A and B are shown apart, each in its own frame.
Chain A
């Protein structure tokens, strides 16, 4: 293993993430993983990594990183103005970077979470089969915490010669998956029957704003009160990724990567798999709407997104 980066300046929240820690929810272990797994997978594709290789998830503002060896990397996801030695660096393509260069970030232009992948993948000791950081437990990733100044990140061996990775780009059509960023499609249930028709209608027609107390565990949503039937107490059950749970106060919470595995609030709907990457790119103050789709439509959109990923690169 080789050293890939040293952190020169820490940032708001940068963590090591792969696609998640699966198979342990029955024991209460959160899945974690990249909030925008679509972007992480594209980043890995650009540098010829397996889809579940670990990269950095960079939230809102980025760190300064010293590049410790000649490598090929890619920036995907939200646009946080990545730079190499102070020069703007393009997103969605493979980039050759020399030893002693400095990767930095500017202002947030679009989205909320950027991903940095490197040919060979970042390496941290896997915990329960995953390199993801579970910030809440804490578990995995780089000592179970966000990166800070002085940390040194190792990488694995690239799958192919670095010269073969140059000029790789994501087709612009693949990025249409980020169109309509403020519309999240949902499949109703599992507990939509805990809500009267007026609440369901409000939930599906009015807008919500991402509240400040939002993080990788979930987004708190401000908006119309979504009241459940009085006494709609629920016996705790398991929480799928993207579930919208509604406590009795009527303020919904969209549950994401670091969500707890079980909970007792009724879940009115679940965001479809192929829109979760859009949810990941939302920040405090953003307005969103929930649109209902059938299960068949959700599955069709998922197949379409997988098709997009399969042909995401130019040439």
Chain B
């Protein structure tokens, strides 16, 4: 795996950030995932939770049980084995998407903005493979890399107040899927019938960091059939509403 300067940063009195460089790229992310997987596989008392992000891992610990020095020593040892160890490969996940129409109201805009036809947008978007760098913003929302440059499109000037769960969007250089209904400023090009987050399922999250995602275009009819078969509730999603809200940059 790649070598690079590793920084340890204090995140309060219960957190340690291990930072692997300052780039968003699959190689840096593999280093984050390597350490994350070591922590998950080798639980030690006082190490409570770890949160992988693009180029860093936040490790949360209980200082009453585990000292920062002991935690750092453990992390150092894990990182020494970095070259020899096998990183568990990411799962490949196919996500059906019905593009355009009322489920993807911004497809035309994305096409026009990039000088493409809507069919070309669909073709490009569904032929790429995307790496899930991390989940965040809302439960199960994947932050993904790998969007073809021809599809880069600025966010909405005024975010919508309500974007239905399952909406597939483009925000700048990123693409993502809204996991629950909520405000959002990304351009919505389609919707998946799959639920990215369902706390009632044995496995509540469809995706995890490190997964490789591919979108599979489906017709409206197939979309409706999938909604009925897999998740009856999903088809009740309300239509998009326009409005301004978020002051912070968010999907």
Contact = CB atoms under 8 A, between A and B. Distances in A.
B13 A190 contact: no
A161 interface: no
Nearest to B209: A26
Interface residues on B, range: 35 or more
B13 A236 contact: no
Contact of B22 (A187, A235, A242, A264): A235
B140 interface: yes
Interface in A221-245: 235-238, 240-243
Interface in A174-207: 187-191
Interface in B1-54: 9-15, 17, 22, 24, 36, 48-54
A237 B36 CA distance: 14
A240 B60 contact: yes
Given A190-B9, A240-B58, A299-B63, A262 B15 contact: no
A270 B58 contact: no
A237 to B, nearest CB: 4
A188 B13 contact: no
A42 B17 CA distance: 31
B13 A295 contact: yes
A115 to B, nearest CB: 22
A137 B209 contact: no
A262 B10 contact: no
A102 to B, nearest CB: 34
Contacts of B56: 235, 237-238
A26 B52 contact: yes
Given A139-B199, A261-B136, A303-B64, A236 B11 contact: no
A260 B137 contact: yes
A110 B9 CA distance: 36
Given A128-B199, A302-B13, A28 B141 contact: yes
B139 A241 contact: no
Interface stretch (A17-25, A59-67, A163-171): A17-25
B126 interface: no
B138 interface: yes
Contacts of A262: 51, 53, 134, 136-137, 143
B10 A295 contact: yes
A236 B12 contact: no
B53 A236 contact: yes
Interface in A254-298: 260-265, 267, 270-273, 295, 298
17 contacts: A25-B49, A27-B135, A27-B208, A30-B139, A187-B10, A189-B9, A190-B17, A235-B22, A236-B143, A237-B56, A238-B17, A241-B14, A247-B248, A267-B11, A270-B10, A273-B13, A298-B12
